[in-house]
Amino acid sequence: MLRTIAAALLLLATPLFAQTNNVNARIDRILHDVPLIDGHNDLPWQYWERAKDHLAQIDIRQDQSKLTPPLHTDIPRLKQGHVGAEFWSVYVPTTLKGADAVRSVLEQIDVVDRIDERYPDTFELARTADDVMRIHRSGKIASMIGIEGGHSIGNSLAVLRQLYNLGARYMTITHSDNNDFADSATADPLHNGLTPFGKQVIAEMNRLGMLVDCSHIAPKTMNDILDVTQAPVIFSHSSARALTDHARNVPDDVLRRLKDHDGVVMLTWVPTFVSEKARARDAAKDAEETRLKALYRGQPDKVKAVLGQWDTANPAPRATVQDVADHIEHVVQVAGTEHAGLGTDLDGITSTPEGLESVAAFPTLFAELIRRGWTDAQLEGLAGLNVLRVMRKVEATAARLQKERPPSDLRIEE
């Protein structure tokens, strides 16, 4: 009798087991052929925050998920997630200005270089789309550099050029604050978008072959850039504003223009960007903190204690893999399949969607999209082919512009 029941249960489970195996095999095949490109990972800044850039103190050959707080990125989980290329964010706080910001971004680039040197069997610096494909075919992960925040150039086109020479292949035009030539999404408008010098920054990025990254900027700045750029742009880590009304997300009118310019939105995993419930709770906490600071002036310990009680009484809702998939599908619906990519912001966030806890989780997201009926061609585009297309167009535009004009010697004060 027991053998009969066991046999029946096995028979019932077999189709599901076979289906799961088929999905896994399909994902393995796709990500073997196409490099999965993650548009934004903040591991370099984690080395600064946790170890003041002493790389030997955190060995990413080992699983680092047990650190407090855990890292989202290490070599075993990168391989588990079939990651083919990472844009490492070289992040500089907006509190740093001028020469201090330039020094900090150079130190962050040095961290990326030393990661590549420390783990040469895993990482290799990529400067072009062809490099990404070659490195992926060799079995290694293409290591790329993305500048997070235009203040990092110290208002100097010469610095911009030298950062490009060091391997930087995109730059977000702002970070969380306005800079001297562009408005951020998360600060009160100062310039009404892009200044005349800001337009020269975009022109020089086009001439260099550096991707213009529109994450972090205000919608007016987005539109100003789309008005002047001669090459496609990217959003390295943003989501859809129609689904989650966060200032960092992309409005539908910009998504439609992005399609016309052949750009790509690399959809992020930031919980407050992909879940309206998470965003609303985060805003409520900010409001409560402001209220408590006004109520208990000069009593930071009291504010901290009472805010902790509020936290306990109002647990944060978890975003989900389904939320992320919804944002991907919205971008596809408005802009088209060819204009979606992936940019997690892992190790730049303190919490993650349920099911997407680390770089190992990309197959989980792909399985959800397969469940929704995505084709291999759509998944290949999302994984990396869409971004590679944009990179090649940016490279081709640069080759043309370099024949037409020399480097700009304009200064911001002129």
User: Kind of pairing, strands 141-148 and 36-41?
Assistant: unpaired
pLDDT at residue 11, rounded to an integer: 45
327-337: average pLDDT: 98
- Residue 17: what pLDDT? 59
Average pLDDT over residues 279-296: 95
> Residue 18's pLDDT band (boundaries 50, 70, 90)?
low
Q: Is residue 14 very low, low, confident or very high in pLDDT (cuts 50, 70, 90)?
A: low
Query: What local confidence, expressed as pLDDT, does residue 216 receive?
Result: 98
Band the pLDDT of 7: cuts 50, 70, 90. low
Q: Is the pLDDT of residue 250 over 50?
A: yes
pLDDT confidence band for 414 (50 / 70 / 90): confident
pLDDT band at 239 (very low <50, low <70, confident <90, very high): very high
Residues catalogued as catalytic: 40, 42, 148, 175, 216, 237, 345
Burial class (CB in 10 A: 0-12, 13-18, 19+), 50: middle
pLDDT digits (tens, 9 = 90+) for 68-104: 999 999 999 999 999 999 999 999 999 999 999 999 9
Q: What is the mean pLDDT of residues 201-216?
A: 98
Output the pLDDT for position 245. Answer: 97
Q: Burial of 21 by CB count in 10 Å (0-12 exposed, 13-18 middle, 19+ buried)?
A: exposed
Token duo for residue 82: 């079939």
Please state, rounded to an integer, the average pLDDT across all residues of the chain. 95
Q: Which stretch of DSSP H or E encloses residue 391?
A: helix 386-404
